[in-house]
Structure 1
Amino acid sequence: MHVGVQKGVSWGAGSSPLVLTCGCDRSLRSAKKSRARQDWPWRWLKAALLVSLVVAGGFLSWRCLQNEDGVTEVLARHGDNLRDTFIEVPCSEDYDSHKRFEGCTPRKCGRGVTDAVITREEAERIRRIAERGLSLGGSDGGASILDLHSGALSLGKHFVNLYRYFGDKIQDIFTEEDFALYRDVRQRIQQRIAQAFGISAASLYLTKPTFFSRINNTGAKTTHDEYWHPHVDKVTYGSFDYTSLLYLSDYTEDFGGGRFVFMDAGSNKTIEPRAGRVSFFTSGSENLHRVEKVQWGTRYAVTISFTCNPDHGIGDPVLK
């Protein structure tokens, strides 16, 4: 039996025909197949575009993660034994807001790394000084500080003056030989900085703070434990003109994470610590930097800083 379709009927959204003729059904199926053949290239193109967007999104996410990590080039690997590496960079304007000292205030700026100034054996001896001193206290958080010059020592969530706090017990912790080695190491680093930047070592003065640091993966308890934030030494400490770090433990062997990162525009650079390695740099914004969070183990280093202004100079530590 043939059932006709009433002319002029329109199927709106949500409507459905109750009765269709067999001829109309065949015609609709034929039309759907024709439209499907016509739509196929577009469907393929949509699928291809979707896949491309997913891949592109994944790549951008990966790049963002890389940028957050901030490491795109390694200047000094842990396994390298570097005689001298120096990279010159344009000076920032930070020094213009401070009194300038001709022949000392940076006009040539940059960063250097050397494994040829301090031996690994000397670094181990220096590290034992730090270990003995920090055994008297230590932060509740992940970063502990020992300053032999001022006597500042992390203790819980605060600092104490170890010379006053421990009195005569200090004589059982440190020796004159310890302080002599510390002074000798400081002088050699000072000479290397002067040589690299073409200035007189006599124009440089040790300045504060100069200190040992011990960092592990314990969570921060105070702002003093948050060592990983990017910063500029000349901004943080106005007296700094040249900064150096002597590493006292080995990346990947004694600790994970904890690399030193120069945060350059578009391409960051990192230094992997190695016992006896010295990194040094001008202290202005041309050397914005941070330290990665330590993931495991313990990282030891000593920061030794220099100024061109004699009014901001300090003496070497003495056994009190």
Structure 2
Amino acid sequence: MKKSRRPVQAKESKMPNPFVIVGALACCVGLGITYWNKTDVITSDFVERITRNISCSHDYKTLPYFESCSPRKFCGRIVSDNIVTMEEVSKLLDIAKRGFLHGGSNGGASILDLHSGALSKGDKFVNIYAYLDENSLRKTFNPKDLKFYSSVRQKVHDAIQEQFGINGKKLYLTHPTFFSRITNTSAKTQHDEYWHQHIDKIQYASFDYTSLLYLSDYGTDFTGGRFVFDNPKSYVEPKKGRLSFFTSGSENPHRVEKVVSGTRYAVTVSFTCDPSKAIKDPTLERRQP
């Protein structure tokens, strides 16, 4: 199926809909960095940091280029279990579960976007900030929750800045950035079809760097649901606290295997070099759909 280069939005709510994609040694032993170069499976064993350098695609030559931020000379994929703590994972998972109590897709893939308020609800989406009354909203989230969420988001930002050697002041959070919850329930709409291969920068032109932080364990909390880079092929087994991040262009086509059992939780945090596409950290201000 031919992909559009324009950002895709859910028709039902006008809010960003991540699941409409029909469908993150030798010289460096002292740093604990390993390079992987073949078809590999990154298992649930502890990984301090593993890196794969990849030639950048032509995407960055045809789209706007932002000096000292946009990928062009150095693209790749990185996996690390040493950036986010287990305590932070537990807090994030608690925030996600509290939000999902108020919604959830009829299919197997649900999202909660604290920035736009988008929450899967049946076959559509609602704005959780407008959907809940003030009392219910305050019982679900509090300012400390969102401040904490933003602090972890900053850790991800800093890891991308360091790994790719870019100017962090020119790297901005962008839509869609969201929690995901995936089960083995059959898809009811195209929004539930998360398993198709896609390229983030083609789906959302603003994307330059994509990250995924896993909040549940492959093989324990769920089966299936591995993250797959398709060219060259590599598999990443999700693990609590594991952070995977990569350049968002055609050099990194990817997909998620179908979840077979259990529940898979993750946070996708997306970054852009385009200041016009930047978004702010979430607050509890009332928002209209």
Query: When the two structures are superposed, what TM-score results if normalisation uses the length of structure 2?
Result: 0.83
The reply to whether residue 172 of structure 1 matches residue 149 of structure 2 is no
Match of 1:289 among 242, 254, 257: 254
**Aligned partner (choices 166, 191, 194) of residue 227 of structure 1:** 194
1:259 to 226, 250, 261: 226
Give me the CA root mean square deviation.
1.0
Instruction: Give the secondary-structure state (helix, strand or coil) at the position aligned to 2:206.
Output: coil
Q: Distance in 2 between matches of 1:75 and 1:203?
A: 33
- The total of aligned residue pairs comes to 246
Q: 1:182 aligns with which of 141, 149, 172?
A: 149
Q: CA separation in 2, counterparts of 1:226 and 1:278?
A: 23
Q: Which residue of 1 aligns with 2:110?
A: 144
- % identity of equivalent residues: 56
Aligned counterpart, 2:240:
275
**C-alpha separation in 2, matches of 1:300 and 1:115:** 16
In the alignment, the residues of structure 1 paired with residue 199 and residue 127 of structure 2 have an alpha-carbon distance, to the nearest angstrom, of: 27
1:302 aligns with 2:267: yes
Q: Give CA-to-partner distance per residue, 1:3-32, whole Å, 9 cap, x none.
A: xxxxxxxxxxxxxxxxxxxxxxxxxxxxxx
For 2:54, which of 89, 103, 114 is the aligned residue?
89
User: 1:97: how far off?
Assistant: 2.3
Residue 254 of structure 1 aligns with an amino acid whose one-letter code is D
The aligned amino acid for 1:122 is E
C-alpha displacement of 1:209: 0.3
Structure with greater Cα Rg: 1
TM-score norm. by structure 1 comes to 0.75
Runs of 4+ in structure 1 over 3 Å off: 72-75
Q: What CA distance in whole angstroms lies between the structure 2 residues aligned with 1:189 and 1:75?
A: 23
Say whether 1:155 aligns with 2:121.
yes
CA–CA separation in structure 1 for the residues paired with 2:87 and 2:42: 20
Q: Normalized per residue, which structure has more strand? A: 2
Give 1 or 2: higher helix fraction. 1
1:187 is paired with a residue of what secondary structure? helix
- Secondary structure, in 3 states, of the residue corresponding to 1:148? coil
- Correspondence 1:123 to 2:94: no
Residue 75 of structure 1 deviates from its aligned partner by 4.3
Q: Which ranges in structure 2 are unaligned for 5 or more consecutive residues?
A: 1-37
